[in-house]
Amino acid sequence: MAVLVGKKAPLFEADAVVNGGEFVEKFSLQQYIGKKHVIFFFYPLDFTFVCPTELLAFQEKLQEFEKRNVAVVGCSIDSKFSHWAWLNTEKKKGGIHGVKYPIVSDLSKTIAANYDVLAGEWIYNEDGTIEFEGKAQAYRGLFLIDKQGIVRHQVVNDFPLGRSIDEALRMVDALQFFEENGEVCPADWHKGDEGMKENAESVANYLSNH
């Protein structure tokens, strides 16, 4: 599994569905560089079980991300038509009706491969033919990308393990606190807590008070 933290986030152009049902061609994260932080997350498949709980949870907290000037973008290997159908299916029927943030279609699986969250790989057989080995789906990867397009945080869960949206918000708060104050964030830091300067005296003072 590649560690992308500290590196440029892989860019792409792909089909996406935005605003709960509008098709967009050549959607790209490039539009946010210099303007917004981005939470870019992958999920395995549309019309599954854990996935709608995550996508709906991101929607429920979308205003919190927007207050922080953060764009939320989802992605899976499904087609844009599958995304559209899922977005237009009621929650009680397993759908994600009401989700407004962009959902990218990675039908070619190249985006998931570039972020190294694809649960499998293409291999050559002895006869020279190529086939996919593993699950042609993305793990539950999440990437926090700053305004310069650099990945500052990543976490990858296996298929059965849903993510914490509150933890994603906490990491956004921590990054923005550091950017604004130049102070680092100790263990279990939350918005409103004090930070630490990067020197021995600051560490000693912090530890003596906690």
In tens, the pLDDT along 11-44 reads 999 999 999 999 999 999 999 999 999 999 999 9
**Domains in the chain, start-ordered, CATH in brackets?**
14-161 (3.40.30.10), 164-210 (no CATH)
Is the full-model pTM beyond 0.75?
Answer: yes
Write the DSSP assignment of 67-111 as a string of letters: HTTEEEEEEESS-HHHHHHHHTS-GGGT--TT--S-EEE-TTSHH
In tens, the pLDDT along 46-73 reads 999 999 999 999 999 999 999 999 999 9
142, two tokens: 């999440």
- CB environment 170-206: b (16+ within 10 A), e (fewer): bbbbbbbbeeeeeeebeeebeeeeebeeeeeeeeeee
Whether 51 is catalytic? yes
51, 71, 138, 165: the catalytic one is: 51
